[in-house]
Amino acid sequence: MSNENTNTSQWSLVVQRVTSSSVEVWVGSLFPTLKKPDIARVELTLPDGSKQTKRITKEQWLRPFDKLNQRFYKVIKFTQLTPGKSYQVNFVRRIEANGSVIPQSWQHLRSGAFSTLPNRIPLKGKKPFTIALGSCFYNHRDGGRAAAAYKALYQRGADNVKPDITFLTGDQVYLDIGFDSLSLIPSEIRQRVADDYALHWQAMGSILCNGGTWMLPDDHEFWNDYPFYKSAIPQLQALRLRHVRKAWDAAATDGVKNVQRSVPFETFSIGKDLSICIADLRSLRDENGFTSTAVLNKIKKWAHELRSPGVFVAPQPLIVEEESEKNLLSYTQQYAELLQAFSVSGHDIVLMSGDVHFGRIATTPLGNGAKGPRLIEIIASPMSNLTYLNGIAADKPKSKPVKFPAPEVCKLNNWKPVKVTYNKLYQVSTKKGNIFSAYPKTRTREHFMTISFSRNTASGTIDLRADAWRIRDTRGPKMLPVKDFDRTFTIKLK
């Protein structure tokens, strides 16, 4: 018997950290009511139809949340895979015999699919290497729409937009939403955090099991404006109590480390054509910086050593103005150092981010030279909007700041401010709100983006194409999500 329906299954399979020769598969359950299987298997089907199988025994299951025994997971790694090939993966458990009532059998729990990374960015005219980008998912009124839209594009979309891997850049859960966040009892806080993960992972199931996924936390994986807690928001006042804050922070950190499996810094490359850096700029944030000095130095080293265009994946944008809640610009010294490192790389940097509840693409030169490298900033947010009172956080696409970077950063780097290029064609559309509805404020349409890369031998460039996809608007016999941009965004990277 299969329990595959995304909206009802309490089992999870998440494909993570795909390389050209390996994959990591997260399996288990985040719900408190399921029994740990005595014997389970993860089965990998190879391109030739043969299978590799890894067994999980009862004592091998791990706890995703410390002090909560009911929920469990295991990460299985397969190696010696072939670059640029498609694989299927299945998660099954053994049903133990019970006299003459139940015969011993194997139950299929979840399945997934992925492709290993290619050795090089594909040539123009072939299927490009494509990254899906999304952030900000609130399951209250999603109803499985985000997962269905993504799955449709992954399974039935055209080759030029079908995702190979996915970056989810923050707020995959909203742990601080709802007045039940006010509990003062540590055990209830832990259960609340774990329950939120269970419900969000259930709703996003078909995103997480199709293609390799990397996840970064932003503040709502902890609480609004984390790690700062002296907020005026009513449901966050309990954070002023040390025992509440300690329990909440510990449970949230467990979710980031064991469920999302985010790390402060990691990189990988597609041959010599494209280098990708993924940086958690939230978990280590404090009064002095958006990350530690050690992590910042690793990012700077990555930028300095670029020999190809770079993709920088972060939970917040760089083209910003300072706001009441701290953003990356709030840490002027680290922000300036980061931009300086990007500017001397000699190569274009594509920033993929979210957080801000609007979607858009903007470009600007890096440094003083108009002919130098560029920053191409791609923001995709949200996948699912907040509702009711929380819906006031909805926002419209913004065309600011006009000049970049901020004056204090220009002074530190000895730069002159340059113009930021925005195009209304590449701002995700909005939908009107109604004060008497679940969505009180005009908000950006729920969406994710796809960013495709091809190798252009004629121009000697890597060609980038980007589209935004409306999650709640599907058409045609294949029920594919509708494009939000009237025209595909294109740029040649150097």
pLDDT score of 6 more than 80: no
H/E segment holding residue 294: helix 293-304
Which pair of structure tokens corresponds to residue 268? 């990988």
pLDDT of residue 3: 43
Separation in Å, CA 420 to CA 139, 221, 398, 405, 423: 34, 31, 12, 9, 10
Query: Could you report the per-residue pLDDT of 154-170, keeping only the tens digit for each?
Result: 999 999 999 999 999 99
pLDDT of residue 370: 67
Which residues, in sequence order, are bridge partners of residue 461? 456
pLDDT of residue 100: 67
Query: Who contacts 444 (Cβ-Cβ below 8 Å, separation ≥6)?
Result: 357, 358, 359, 381, 382, 385, 394, 395, 396, 397, 428, 429, 430, 431
pLDDT of residue 241: 94
Least confident of 56-65, 71-80, 291-300, 472-481: 472-481
Q: How far apart are CA 492 and CA 485, in angstroms?
A: 19
Q: Are 282 and 265 in contact (CB under 8 A)?
A: no
pLDDT band for 372, please (50, 70, 90 cuts). confident
Fold annotation for 119-170+262-493: Purple Acid Phosphatase; chain A, domain 2 (3.60.21)
Is the pTM higher than 0.85? Answer: yes
Query: Could you report the per-residue pLDDT of 60-71, keeping only the tens digit for each?
Result: 999 999 999 889
pLDDT score of 5 more than 60: no
Percent of the chain having pLDDT more than 90?
A: 85
pLDDT band for 180, please (50, 70, 90 cuts). low
pLDDT score of 413 more than 80: yes
pLDDT score of 239 more than 50: yes
Query: Could you report the per-residue pLDDT of 39-90, keeping only the tens digit for each?
Result: 999 999 999 999 999 999 999 999 999 999 889 999 999 999 999 999 999 9
pLDDT of residue 2: 40
The mean pLDDT value of the chain amounts to 94
Q: How far apart are CA 169 and CA 220, in angstroms?
A: 12
**From the CB of residue 155, how many other CB atoms can be counted at a distance below 10 Å?**
13
pLDDT of residue 222: 97
pLDDT of residue 7: 65
**From the CB of residue 99, how many other CB atoms can be counted at a distance below 10 Å?**
6
pLDDT band for 345, please (50, 70, 90 cuts). confident
Least confident of 139-153, 368-382, 395-409, 411-425: 395-409
Q: How far apart are CA 381 and CA 133, in angstroms?
A: 9
Cα 253 from chain centroid?
16
- In one letter, which amino acid is 158? A
Cα 148 from chain centroid?
17
pLDDT score of 179 more than 80: no
Average pLDDT over residues 188-216: 97
- In one letter, which amino acid is 354? G
Average pLDDT over residues 251-269: 98
Average pLDDT over residues 202-209: 97
Q: What are phi and psi of 313, to 5 degrees?
A: -105, 120
